[in-house]
Chain A
Amino acid sequence: MLTALGVVFGVASVVAMLAIGEGASYEAQEQIRNLGSQNVILESIKPPDNQGPGQQSRSFVIEYGLTSRDINQIRQTIPGISVVVPSRIISEYLWHDDKNIDGSIIGALPIYPEMRNRKLSSGRFFTDIELAGRLPVCVINQTSATRLFPLSTPVGKSIRVRGYYYQVIGIMEDEGQRATTESTGNGNKSSSSLAQIVIPFTTLMDQFGDTFFRFRSGSFEAEKVEFHEAIVRVDDVNEVVSRAEAIKQILSKNHPREDYRVTVPIELLRQAERTKRIFSIVLGSIAAISLLVGGIGIMNIMLASVTERTREIGVRRALGAKQRDIVLQFLIETVLLSGAGGVVGVILGLGIPVAISHFAGVTTVIKLWAPSLAFSISVMTGIAFGIYPALRAAKMNPVEALRHV
C-alpha cells in the first residue's frame, strides 16, 4: 500500500486544487453578484499620512474624498453610463430604547437596492418622494434587525441616532459575504456582520451636514467628506473596464492626493482567475510530481512482481495465454493498485479543502466531477506506468520463464 502513497498525494492535491480553484471563482462570482458586474464603485478613503503634522494642527477637519464636482464631471464627460448613485456612510451608534450597537448610516438614493443587488426581506425601500421630502425613514439590514429588535418586528418601530429618530420601513438582507469593501472609518470590521441602516441621502445631509464629528473613547475626529461612495453603472458590460479607466483619469486630475479608490467588480473576477491559476500551478505541480513519483513506485513494484512471478507467467503461457492476456492481467493488477491509491487520495483530498476553509477561511467548492476526474487520473497513472512491466511480462520466452526458479 505504501507504494501507492505517491498516487494518494497526487490525487489528493488534484482534488484540493480543483476545490480551491472552484472556490475562488465561486467567491468572485458571489462578489460580482453583490456588486453588480456593470458597476464601477468609487470610494473615498482617508488619504495616506502624507500631509505633514503641521498642516493637521492648523485644521482639525480632515477633508477628503469624492465631491459633487467629480460626480458631475463623470456624468457629463463619460459616455455610455446610465446612473451615478452617490452615497454617504457615517459610523455611529444606533439606538433602540436602551439598546445600542455600533453601525453605519448610509445616505443613498432609492435606486440603491437595485444597484447593489440587495433584496428586501420585508417592508419596502424609501421612494423618491421620501427622498425629496427629506423624511426620517430608514431601511435596516438583517444584522441590525436581529440585534436591535431581537424579540419584535422592526417595521414600524424607530431607531435613534444622535437624538434623531428614524422610522423603520423595511428590512433588507445582509450583504453577501465580504461583498463590498469596508466602509470608511470602520475598516476593522467585517461588513458581513456590520449593522447598517439606509436613509434618504437628503435626510442624511440635513442631519449630519457635510462635516462629520466623532467623539469616541476620548479621541476627537472630524472629517469632511461629501460622498463616501458612488456607483457608476456602465450600459455595456464589455465597456466596464475602459470606462473605469476614464473615471480614474478624471479622479486623478481632481485628487492629487490618493483619497479615493476605484473598484471594478469585473476585475475581481480576473483577480480570482489569477488566484485560481496560481493555486492550480502550485498544486498542479505537486500533483504532477507526486503522480510521477507514485507512478514510478508502482512501476518498480510491478517489475519486482513480474520477476518474482516469472514461473507463473511461463505456466500461463503454456496453458494457452496469449501475450495480450498477460499484458491485460498485469495492467489490471497495476490499475487496481493505483486505483486503490486513488480512492484513498480522493478521501484525503476531500478533507484538505474542508481543513483549508476551516483554518484559512478560503472558500472551497467541491464539484462532483472533481473527485471523479482525480480518480480517473489515478487509473490513468496505473495504465501509464503499468504498461512497461506488463509488456515485459508478456515478452518473456515461455521456455525460459518455465525454467526460472
Chain B
Amino acid sequence: MVKPIIELTNIRKTYRMGDMESHVLQGITLSIFPGEYVCIMGPSGCGKSTLLNVLGCLDQPTSGSYLLSSQDVAHLNDDELSLVRCRNLGFIFQSYNLIQQLTVIENIELPLYYKGVPESESHDIAEKLAGQVGLGKHLHHRPNELSGGQQQRVAIARSLANDPLVILADEATGNLDSKSGHEILGVFDDLHQLGKTLIFVTHDERMVQRCSRVVRLRDGHIESDEPGGARKHRAANPVSELHMNDVTEESESSADLPTSVFSH
C-alpha cells in the first residue's frame, strides 16, 4: 500500500469575528494518495476554499494534524510554510494571477527564483514548460497580450516549474469559455496521466467526469467521498495500483507532455 501524500486528521478551522465564532471546517479527515485527481465540490460557504488554503499551506488549521508527505505542516511558522509552498506545492488560480509586469517566461520562472534555482537553469526549465503548454512562441509576451486560455496555460506551466508534489487549483476553468476550458481540462488529463497529484476545487461538472475522486463538502463536513468519472471506468483497480499503472503504462502514450519535462 502506497503511503498517502496528504493526510488530514480531524482538521478544524474556526474564524472569530467579535463574539461570533464561525466553524468553517468541522473535523475534516482525508487522505490523498499520489497520482490522484481529486475534485472538491460543494455549495458556496461550505468551506472548500478554506480547505484548499489549508492544503496549500497558505492558512493554518485551528486544530488537527496535516501531514504532507509525512511532514507535519500544521504548526509551522511563516518562513517554514513559505519553504513548503516553494518546494512541494503548485498553485493555479481562477483568475490566472499572472504578474502583469513580467513576461510569460519570467512568470514561469518565478517559483524557481524563490526556490533559489540558478537563472540559467530556471530559464531552460521555464522554456521547456512553456513549450509543453503550447506557448513556445509567446515567451516574451506580457500576460495582457494573451487570451484567457493562454494565460491559464502559463499559470499551469508556472505551477509545474518547481516540480511540486501536489498541484492545487481553485476554479481553474471558472473564467474560461467552454472551448478554452475544454483545452485546459485536456492539459489536466495529461498531468493526471503523468502521475501528478491534482486537487481542484471546482463547480465544473466536466471535471467530475474526468477526475479520479470527488469529495463533496457541506457545512464544514465531508458529505460524500466517491470515485470520479475516470475511476469508474476501471473500478476494479485500487487507487494505488491505478497510480502505478498510470505512470508505467500511460506516460509513454501521452504525446503532449513527455515525462522528462516534469522530472527535472
- Is chain B found bound to chain A in the same assembly? yes
Residue of B nearest to A320 (CB): B86
Q: Among residues 371 to 405 in chain A, which have CB atoms less than 8 Å away from a CB atom of chain B?
A: 398-399, 402
- Interface of B, secondary structure class, is helix
| Any A CB within 8 A of the CB of B111 | yes
Decide if A323 is an interface residue (CB 8 Å cutoff): yes
- Specify which chain B residues have a CB less than 8 angstroms from the CB of A317 in the assembled complex: 58, 82, 85
Q: B82's contact among A311, A321, A402, by CB below 8 Å, is which?
A: A321
Contact of A303 with B by CB under 8 A: no
A320 B58 Cβ-Cβ under 8 A? no
- Interface flag for A316 (CB, 8 Å): yes
Contact B97 A402 (CB under 8 A): yes
Q: Mark B94-125, 1 if CB is under 8 A from A, else 0.
A: 00010110000000001100110000000000
Q: For residue B85, which residues in chain A have a CB less than 8 angstroms away from its CB?
A: 317-320
* Chain A residue with the shortest CB-CB distance to B155: A315
- Is A312 on the interface with B (CB-CB < 8 A)? yes
Does B79 sit within 8 A of A, measured CB to CB? yes
A312–B111 CA distance with the chains assembled, in angstroms: 13
CB distance from A365 to the nearest CB of B (A): 44
Q: Contact at B59–A399, with CB atoms within 8 Å? A: yes
Cβ-defined contact, B58 with A319, below 8 A:
no
Instruction: State in angstroms the CA–CA spacing of A323 and B162 once bound together.
Output: 19
Q: Which of A312, A321, A399 is within 8 Å of B53, CB to CB?
A: A399
Give the residues in chain B near A314, CB-CB below 8 Å.
97
Q: B79 contacts A320, CB within 8 Å? A: no
Q: How far is the CA of A316 from the CA of B102 in the complex (A)?
A: 12
Q: Report the bound CA distance from A108 to B111 in whole Å.
A: 85
With A325-B114, A399-B58, A402-B58 known as contacts, the answer to whether A319 contacts B158 (CB < 8 A) is: yes
Judge if B56 is at the interface, Cβ distance under 8 Å: yes
Interface string of A310-353 (1 = CB under 8 A from B): 01101111111111010000000000000000000000000000
- Chain A nearest CB from B98 CB (Å) reads 8
Partner of B114, one of A312, A320, A398, A402: A320
List, in ascending order, chain A residues with CB within 8 A of B114's CB. Answer: 316, 319-322, 325
Which residues of A approach B to under 8 Å, CB–CB? 311-312, 314-323, 325, 398-399, 402
- Can you report 21 A-B residue pairs in the complex whose CB atoms are below 8 A from each other? A312-B99, A312-B100, A315-B97, A315-B99, A316-B114, A317-B82, A318-B91, A319-B114, A319-B158, A320-B86, A320-B111, A320-B114, A320-B162, A321-B86, A322-B78, A322-B79, A323-B78, A399-B53, A399-B59, A402-B58, A402-B97
